[in-house]
Structure 1
Amino acid sequence: MVLIEKPASKARWLSLAVLMLPVLLVTVDNTVLGFALPKIAEALHPTACQQLWMIDAYSLVLAGLLVSMGSLGDRIGHRKLLLAGSFGFAVVSVLTAYSETAMQLIIGRACMGIFGAMLMPSTLALIRWVFEDREERRLAVAIWATTLTVGSALGPLVGGVLLEFFDWGAIFLLAVPVLIPLLVSGPLFLPESERDASGPLDPVSIVQSMVALGAIVYSVKRGASDGIDEVVLITFLIGLLAGWMFVWRQSRLAEPLMDLSLFRNGAFSSSILINLMSLAFLVGFVFFTTQYLQIVLQMSPLGASLALVPGQIMAIIVGMAVVPIAKRVPVHVLIPILTGFVGAAFLLVASMGGSLAVWVAAFALLNIGVGAITTVTNDVILSAAPPAKAGAASAISETAYEVGVVLGTTLLGGLVTAYYRGALQLPAFLNDIQFMLASETLSGAFSVAAGLSAEQAQVLMLQAALAFEGGVGLVSWAAFGLALVAMLITWRTLRIAEAKAVEESWRC
């Protein structure tokens, strides 16, 4: 183990500023693609399944590799891993920007996920290493968690601004100006963490986790786009089997890839669950909101992105303002209240339709809840884990974050797509190719409408908008119900966990 001198007080906060660059970029990439989907659909003509994979290939690979990359960082040093990941991410982003087919873009997004997995664990690991004082570390983690939410919320704004003036490839070229300052300043301002090579990497566990996530996500996507068939059922069962084998292996390894014993703590497990669900709600909301504003309400990318700015501002304010509140309000009360804001956002959309004012208000409510939840749950997660397992706890937290991103587009986006395909009533004047493209996605219908007469285009888009609105309404009611369930679960499990903690303190 190599001892490294830690930075002085002012240098610590400068180090934190440098670390926020990759965090912001990785989280922006989770949602920025949603605004580019209409333009990508016109250029690359993806199928419904490919359109979902364009978004999820990145987060799926990222989620599958986060824990193993955290272990690799422990072995070679997190600063070294961070800089290597930044360089690879920038190079792959440039190549992806010039994709000529939908499959090339999907592969590029997957490769970005590999290098993105090198960035996220290293940022939180270096924060833990730099900030020894608990209060300083709590504030640093709050800034880190707020940046996660802000990055996801800023994705639509960044995408809207870029697409107003440039082609869709510009959203990937964004990585270059963000990561070059990191590559230059990182060696100067970031300390290297201690290296501990005692824990071996476990390729079998990595493959099992990737197969489990990949198979389940693929089955849901294919079921949404093509209907449930034998392939869907088989791949879903393969995913469940791989997941069971992963859990079984982790419970028997002396040094598991994922320490499942942490989930015995009710505060830890419920915080992981609500963190995952909140990100799924946010990303799923952004997925269909960006399409609705641009295609149904016919707003420009810039106009649509500006409509979501109030929500993004709320995410920044609430993410930091909740820190002093969390010191005074018990988490078993605070987290269910924050989850209530998330549920209220979907209830507003489900009950009041899709006017611009409703979308703006709903996105603001959603960001109030998610922004504060991310800050509070990450503090609970790190506090609930023993000091020796802080690294494993943070890796699980980051994995839950990315799994939530995947589930947001897979489940919420998949349900909207499935409803759209089932409810769409296409006019008879379309030829076979136009019929196929319009029935795939709302973006496909928009692309077909561009080649029709004004009257025919109006008829087609009216039917497409009705089907899409129906899917959004259905998903919003489902999300509202899930939010209510999450409120009850977190209230009960966190209350029990807090009571046990008080009981144990009295025994001591």
Structure 2
Amino acid sequence: MNGSAPTTGAGHPARWAALAVLVLPVLLTSMDFSVLYLAIPAISADLAPTSSQMLWILDIYGFVLAGLLITMGTLGDRFGRRLILLIGATIFGAASVLAAFSTSPEMLIAARALMGLGGATLMPSTLSLIRNMFDDPHERAKAVGVWTAAFAGGGALGPIIGGALLNYFPWGTVFLINVPVLIVLLIAAPVLVPEHRDRSGARLDLPGAALSMVAVLPLVYAVKHAAEITGWDARASLATAIGVVGAILFILRLRTATHPLIDTSLLRNRRILGALTAITLGIMAMLGPNMYLAQYLQLVIGQAPLTAALWMVPMTIAAMSGAMLAPQLRAKTSTAVAIAIGFTTAAIGLAVIALTPPSDGAVIMVAGGVILAAGVTTVMTLATDIVIAAATPEQAGATSAVQETGSEFGGALGIAFMGSLGAAVYRSELDNVGDIPAAARESLAGAREAAASLPEQLRDDLLAHANQAFTSGLTVAAIGAAVTMAILAVAIPWLIRGAEETASTGASEADNDPEKRSAANASSPVEEETPA
């Protein structure tokens, strides 16, 4: 992988070409969270999975990815971030082919798990390489904006691309589209992206890596399981207890290990904690309503999957715009004020979503989603920049993985908590209606299935009640999320403002004084940068 391409220092134009290469795996990793949803009917018809197997097909990718992020980020720090990126891309591509040609539910579950393994190497590797390639804080903020836009855009593009493919091709094509993109990455990255690794001689803390998985995996499982059953049972409680114990042991290991996976000073920094909280809860606020939006467009209004996906395009554009414009907003105000504006915007978007009526409300729903998406990605971009800017060069991968783990938890929490709250309201409203089929009480999809076998008048009455109950649940969930965003608009800026003033003063002095900038660079921990 060694060649003659130049390194991408602060003033070298190749860093932007390298960034273009690095957003490719970000797009794919994000897309694979959502691209599968539209393929569920075709997969069910072809492979006939049980309900439990289908849940694992959907969840195993994110489950494995979340559990391995910190470990894979640390491996990148130790052995080379570009190397781990390329290995992960190879695994991801091979697993995509395996998934596309799966002949049984078990084979597809295994393939999705391997995709999660590959995805866990891609996300922290790309973000840590950006941290190393962009020394200038203003350029780095723009680069993080591009990265965030790709992440947000990938999640929104997944259903659109999936819907288009499924109109003409078998369900396996939703996985095969990964392959040509990854081939481009594998060819271009060794040429354009410089290698970075920690040369301090620190060993990989294997007990710490194991404890990180013991902490993360049970907690992610608990949240996902609670979302599936729309409640909290003994299994979720047990998994939570195991995860909490694992988290305590992991923190103790970080404090006692000679070479801990993560710099413990980061966990004591209120600015970093504020940024991680913003990332986790910001993602939660965006993904929860997205789940409702897809169901509203398809189940309440009755749109086809591809039509529903196209209605979500404005949200994609808004999300990418928010990410790209966040650095300019910060330049005109400050990080704290810009984050406050982002959270306030998100709260307004959720308030608009809460106004969605039981019928003909697509315009209101999408308008609220556009405002929400712009606000959340503004927060995501600025908070992510805070986290990776605080990382030492040696631990950029592990620190980026912590940020990604927060995103994973946020997504799971959004679907679990907003989904559970909406489901509770849905059932409560239908309990007050007369004779309702049991399937209709479980979900809006169940109501539509039950209504299909009823006479016309009964069918229309059932669907009217179900649509009203669904939008009532949506309203309650959106209001709860809006209140949360409004609180964060005050709390997060308060957490980071004091530290920001000190950091900004030091950064401004260094930016304006070449000698101070050189001295700061000279005093930074030594890390090897290998040309491509």
> Which range, TM-score by smaller chain?
0.7 to 0.9
Aligned counterpart, 2:385: 379
CA contact (8 A) 1:60 1:213 kept: no
Aligned counterpart, 2:313: 309
CA contact (8 A) 2:231 2:420 kept: no
The one of 338, 349, 369 equivalent to 1:345 is 349
**AA matched with 1:77:** G
The one of 159, 163, 168 equivalent to 1:165 is 168
**How high is the TM-score relative to the length of structure 2?**
0.83
1:332 and 2:333 aligned? no
Aligned counterpart, 1:413: 419
**AA matched with 1:347:** A
Farther-moved stretch of structure 1 (65-74 vs 419-428): 419-428
**AA matched with 2:382:** V
The one of 468, 488, 495 equivalent to 1:493 is 495
Aligned counterparts, 1:41-120, within 5 A: 54-99=57-102, 105-120=108-123
**AA matched with 1:340:** T
**CA-to-partner distance for each residue in 1:447-479, whole Å, 9 max, x for gaps?**
555666766654554444344323322211221
Q: Which runs of 5+ in 1 are unaligned?
A: none
Aligned counterpart, 2:525: none
Distance 1:10 1:222, change over 3 A: closer
Distance 1:244 1:422, change over 3 A: farther
**AA matched with 2:130:** I
Distance 1:94 1:469, change over 3 A: farther
Distance 1:397 1:48, change over 3 A: same
**AA matched with 1:6:** T
> 1:26 deviation in Å?
0.7
Farther-moved stretch of structure 1 (495-504 vs 206-215): 495-504
Distance 1:407 1:206, change over 3 A: farther
The one of 277, 291, 301 equivalent to 2:281 is 277
| CA distance in 1: counterparts of 2:184 and 2:46, whole angstroms | 32
| CA distance in 1: counterparts of 2:247 and 2:226, whole angstroms | 20
Aligned counterpart, 1:364: 370
> 1:25 deviation in Å?
0.8
**CA-to-partner distance for each residue in 1:32-55, whole Å, 9 max, x for gaps?**
334445665676777887666554
RMSD of the TM alignment (CA)? Answer: 3.4
| CA distance in 1: counterparts of 2:500 and 2:163, whole angstroms | 44
**CA-to-partner distance for each residue in 1:140-167, whole Å, 9 max, x for gaps?**
2322222222222323332333334344
SS of the aligned residue for 2:354 comes to helix
> 1:204 deviation in Å?
3.3
> 1:361 deviation in Å?
0.4
Name the % identity. Answer: 37
**AA matched with 2:349:** A
Distance 1:209 1:456, change over 3 A: farther
| CA distance in 2: counterparts of 1:351 and 1:325, whole angstroms | 29
The one of 281, 286, 292 equivalent to 1:288 is 292
CA contact (8 A) 2:3 2:191 kept: no
1:267 and 2:292 aligned? no
**AA matched with 1:399:** T
Distance 1:371 1:429, change over 3 A: closer
Aligned counterpart, 1:6: 7
Farther-moved stretch of structure 1 (479-488 vs 134-143): 134-143
SS of the aligned residue for 1:270 comes to helix
CA contact (8 A) 1:59 1:405 kept: no
CA contact (8 A) 2:230 2:423 kept: no
| CA distance in 2: counterparts of 1:260 and 1:381, whole angstroms | 13
CA contact (8 A) 1:52 1:409 kept: no
**How high is the TM-score relative to the length of structure 1?**
0.86
**CA-to-partner distance for each residue in 1:116-152, whole Å, 9 max, x for gaps?**
0111122123323433444443332322222222222
Aligned counterpart, 2:486: 484
| CA distance in 2: counterparts of 1:48 and 1:343, whole angstroms | 36
Aligned counterparts, 1:75-474, within 5 A: 75-99=78-102, 105-194=108-197, 196=199, 198-224=201-227, 225=229, 227-353=231-357, 355-386=361-392, 389-420=395-426, 423-424=429-430, 435=438, 440-447=442-449, 458=460, 460-474=462-476
Distance 1:253 1:446, change over 3 A: farther
| CA distance in 2: counterparts of 1:15 and 1:262, whole angstroms | 28
Aligned counterpart, 2:527: none
| CA distance in 1: counterparts of 2:21 and 2:65, whole angstroms | 21
SS of the aligned residue for 1:489 comes to helix
> 1:338 deviation in Å?
0.5
SS of the aligned residue for 1:193 comes to strand
Paired positions, count: 501
